[in-house]
Amino acid sequence: MGELILNGLFAVFDPANLVSIFVGVAVGIVMGALPGISVTLAVALILTFTFGMGPTPALFLLLGTYVGGIYGGSISAILIRAPGTPASAATVADGYALARKGRAGEALRIALFASTIAGIFSAFILLFLAPQLAKVALQFGPPEFFALALFGLTIISNVSGDSVVKGVIMGMMGLFVATIGIDPIGGFPRLTFGITNLQGGVSLIPALIGLFAVSELVNRAQVAHLEVEEENTVTDTKLPFSTAIRHLKTALKGSAIGTFIGAIPGTGSAISAFISYNEAKRASRNKEEFGKGSLDGVAAAESGNNGVTGATLIPLLTLGIPGDTVTAVMLGALLIQGLIPGPQLFMDHADIVYTIMVGLIFVNIVMYVMGRFAVRLFARVTSVPINLLIPLLLILSFVGAYAVNNTVFDAKLMMLFGLVGYFAPKYGFPVTPMLLGIVLGPIAEESLRQALILSDGSWGIFVTEPIALVFILLALASFTLPLLKPYFSGNR
Amino acid sequence: MRTVSSKRREQLISFLVILMGVGLYLFTSYQIEVEERITGLGPAFFPKFVSISLMVLGGFLLLKTFMSNLPGGEVSESPTDEDPSSTGERIWAGALVFIITVAYIYAIEPLGYVLASIISMTAIMWILSVRKWYFYLILVAYVFVTQYFFETVMYIQLP
């Protein structure tokens, strides 16, 4: 392991990797700072640029965008009270209050300090925990993988919308979409409607760009004509190191919360930011300052959201289960590069995996350097009008969908998924489980059929195999507990 | 807030989910008929499994709407509950942007990437109330830069 880490460290300094990291972080901060551009949208669109790259530069570009984007969201949250990403929603109250007091520079710097601490903490946990988990996961067979896929689907449905049933319905729809194309076991073309382009299945990239980018851009188009009412400039108030270090405890606590929550599939940075913020408020001696301009509040929220960045990669790399929507996009990137996430990845491509994990630490350091010296520059992007961005991003969406297979058909598919992504949430159906269904579909189908073939068609195999049983029970609990909660709380 | 109309809407949605499950099941049976005779775990197995799951989940959703006291039976706000005009939203702008983007995708093969992008996106910018002339110049420059980048640097031939 030590040798792999050392090799990974050297590989990070390969010029192509370095350029990818710097560009990724810069693009991430800029896109994260743009109000209304989520990190998912940013990563989905940046994915377009990775098609011609090698695996490590491609993943560094995406990781840079991811990490930079989460931090970038705090810039617009602090300066114009518009969180660039949902993850920065918890930063708004204190960050904006500080900016109104002429302390925007301090708020931005404490956000950067806490984000970096949390990002590095999370990356270290990933580096040391993921290989151990992968070793355990190597023992998994078809029943375990099917149970795991089912668990991933239910837990994401659970947290991504108001109704767990609607979430699972969307997940099932995703699974159905994933069955289009050649049958993975028999090689028989299925549900292709006679369309040649569908024989290879529905490509993940057009689906995710449609679900997350096109739908979001159409939503933004409805309010693009509205003027942003308030704007703060970066009054460059310094944050002495002695002051920053006083918030280290909060940042470390937020890092631990973010890392723990991020490692659970389906949670995400917005949830961890709020939990971290609430915990900091609960533990603080100056509770009354929270919401009125507390540096501790900003540190807690930002460490909470950046703490997930490394942790969400744990289930992705070790089990092939994306922890959130952004890592689902990264899963797409890995597949494009011919890398199949899961325990076998640590055996077959250990060099690449360790380079990515070590590189994530470096990505956070680059984010700190960029944020430290270019914060004024990044702050200016908050004034870029959204009505100019929408057409530019629509063009990028088209190219992203088109470039996967060099066919306009995929762009048409993207628009179809765009419709789903636009309308489904309006009726309470979350779209993230659908993407997860598309991603997990092949694993779920193959492992279910293989498990049933192994057991001569007996479904008992999912109960007799202990690990599979645990995941099945967790999936059941994840599905039923939210439905039973009102009974327990007496709130019927 | 639970209202009769939103309850009916939820019932309709549940019914549509069940119908979709039935439709997908029948379509799967029709499409993969030959292979299904060979083995129960053939290519139609998983799509049918998912279709049946959809029917069951749709039924569950429907049941929840009938049993008003059933836990988790809350219904989400109707999209029409909130008046878009009160929030300044222009639904028609979103719809037009979508329609123009679809037209853009259909026009891109006959017109080519550069021309189709400039025409379609100029129209979108106008709809989105962009009135500063230099933003249109930025758009044109962006189209050429992306074409150069993807074709020359990344070797992706655009239409």
Look at residue A492 in the predicted model and tell me its pLDDT.
47
Q: Which of B45, B71, B154 sits opposite A485 (nearest CB)?
A: B71
B139 interaction partners in chain A (CB closer than 8 Å): 388, 391-392
- Closest chain B residue to the Cα of A449, Cα to Cα: B41
Q: What distance in Å separates residue B159's CA from the closest CA in chain A?
A: 8
> Residue B59: what pLDDT?
92
Listed residue (A148, A146, A171, A154) closest to A483, CA to CA: A154
Region class of A85: left (phi > 0), else alpha (psi between -120 and 50), else beta? beta
| pLDDT score of B75 | 47
Q: Give CA–CA dist B158/B146, Å, rounded.
A: 10
Partners of A190 in the β-ladder? A181
DSSP string, B6-33: HHHHHHHHHHHHHHHHHHHHHHHHHHTH
Torsion angle in degrees (nearest 10) through CA of A79, A80, A85, A86: 110
Average pLDDT, integer, range B23-49: 77
For A221-233, give the DSSP string: HTTTTSPP-----
Token pair of B47 as six digits:
């799509």
Quickly tell me which residue has 């995929």 as its tokens: A410
Check residue A86 and give its pLDDT: 66
CB pair distance less than 8 Å for B88 and A169: no
Q: Which is nearest to A433 in space by CA: A239, A151, A240?
A: A151
Nearest CB to A486: which of B72, B98, B124? B72
Interface test with A, best of B6, B46, B68 (most A CBs within 10 A): B46
pLDDT of residue B72: 47
Question: pLDDT value at position B4?
Answer: 55
Distances in whole angstroms, Cα of residue B33 to Cα of each of A338, B28, B36, B52: 33, 8, 5, 17
Closest partner residue to B139 among A225, A391, A415, by Cβ? A391
The shortest CB-CB distance from B117 to any of A162, A395, A408 is to A395
Element (DSSP H or E) covering residue A181: strand A181-182
Per-residue pLDDT, A460: 87
pLDDT in the model for residue B1: 47
On chain B, the residues whose CB falls within 8 A of the CB of A398 are: 101, 104-105, 108
Chain B contact set for A399 (CB, 8 A): 146, 150, 156, 158
- Contact at CB, A190 and B47, closer than 8 angstroms: yes
In which band, very low, low, confident or very high, does the pLDDT at B124 lie, cut at 50, 70 and 90?
very high
* Residue B4 to chain A, least CA–CA distance (Å): 16
pLDDT at A260: 86
Where b means 16+ CB within 10 Å and e means fewer, A320-343 reads bbbbbbbbbbbbbbbbbbebebbb
Place of tokens 């057009």: A206
Instruction: Tell me the one-letter amino acid at A27.
Output: V
* Runs of H (alpha helix) within A47-103: 55-80, 89-100
Question: Which residues on chain B are in Cβ contact (under 8 Å) with A175?
Answer: 46, 50
**Rounded Cα–Cα distance for residues A424 and A404 (Å):** 25
**Maximum pairwise Cα distance, chain B:** 66
- pLDDT value for B108: 93
Residue ranges in chain A whose pLDDT is less than 70: 36, 82-87, 156-162, 227-237, 266-268, 485-492
Token readout for A238 is: 């310094």
Q: How far apart are CA A220 and CA B90, in angstroms?
A: 10
Q: Is A294 left (phi over 0), alpha (psi -120 to 50) or beta?
A: beta
Structure token digits, residue A355: 């380079």
DSSP state of A428: T
d(CA B118, CA A391): 10
User: In chain B, what residues touch A385 (CB-CB under 8 Å)?
Assistant: 130, 135
CA separation (Å) from A462 to A134, A448, A457, B40, B49?
Answer: 21, 10, 11, 18, 16
What DSSP line would sit under A191-206, residue for residue?
A: S-TT-GGGTT---HHH
What is the residue-wise DSSP string for A238-274? ---HHHHHHTHHHHHHHHHHHHHHHTSTT--HHHHHH
Q: Token pair of A148, please? A: 């795991």
CB A83 within 8 A of CB A89: yes
Q: How many CA atoms lie within 13 A of B42 on its CB side?
A: 16
Q: Å from B82 to nearest chain A CA?
A: 11
Q: Which residues on A lie below 8 Å from B61 (Cβ)?
A: 163, 165-166, 169
* Residue whose structure tokens are 């598309």: A438
Q: What are phi and psi of A190, to 5 degrees?
A: -125, 145
> What chain B residue is nearest to A178 in terms of C-alpha separation?
B47
At residue A159, the pLDDT reads: 60
Environment class of A455 (CB within 10 Å of its CB; exposed 0-12, middle 13-18, buried 19+):
middle
Question: Distance (Å, rounded) from C-alpha A33 to C-alpha A29?
Answer: 6
Predicted pLDDT of residue A232: 55
8 Å CB contact between A228 and A82: yes
The closest alpha carbon to A247, from A291, A301, A288, belongs to: A301
Contacts of A51 in chain B (CB under 8 A): 154, 156
Closest residue to B125, CB basis, from A164, A391, A445: A391
Q: Tokens 């795991």 label which residue?
A: A148
Q: Which of A188, A190, A222 sits opposite B89 (nearest CB)?
A: A222
Q: Which residue of B15, B34, B98, B149 is the best one to mutate when testing the A interface, meaning the one whose CB has the most A CBs within 10 A?
A: B98
Nearest-CA neighbor of B67 among B77, B75, B79, B76?
B75
- Which of chain A's residues have a Cβ under 8 Å away from the Cβ of B74? 162-163
**Model pLDDT, residue A160:** 61
